[in-house]
Amino acid sequence: MALQPGTPAPDFSLVTKTDSGLETVSLSDFKGKMNVVLLFFPAAFTGVCTDELCGVTNSFGKFDNAGAVVYGISGDTPFAQEAWAKQNDITVPLLSDYSKTATKAYDVVLPDLVGLGPASQRASFVINRDGVIVHSEVTATPGDLPDFDAIHAALANL
């Protein structure tokens, strides 16, 4: 069962690919500074994941206005994530959880993605500036999108 509201968010250090190269992002970088939205998704280059991250890209201002940084997290390599983001004009920063450490820490492991092995479930977490989870959701199936109204409501209450 995914981590629930009221739980301290596990720290992680994951890699993202930027125009200047690979960079490491740690959740602890934001503690005391910003709210964080984590969007775990199964795999780049898939229809629902593309819809989700393109939708977040198009509504990025809502998160910005709430004082939140948003990250997409999947088990894809940072290079695959970068290619997918460029192909689809996704501007949400993507973090590579290739070893599934964050996926396991947040307890959102999808045991098998269409015969390809473990992946991240589609899940969302809102973490406040104190590093505590205030919203947690795992969708019923990988084909379902997160409840973005609930995510925005959680941010509005911070």
Q: What is the CATH number of domain 33-156?
A: 3.40.30.10
Model confidence, pTM: 0.94
17 or 61: which leads in pLDDT: 17
Over the chain, what is the mean pLDDT? Answer: 93
Higher-pLDDT residue of 152 and 117 is 152
Active site residues: 49
Name the E strands within the chain. 13-18, 21-26, 35-40, 68-74, 94-96, 109-110, 119-120, 123-127, 133-138
**68-111 per-position pLDDT tens digit:** 999 999 999 999 999 999 999 999 999 999 999 999 999 999 99
pLDDT at 13 exceeding the cut of 70: yes
49/4: higher pLDDT: 4
| Residue 60's pLDDT band (cuts 50, 70, 90) | low
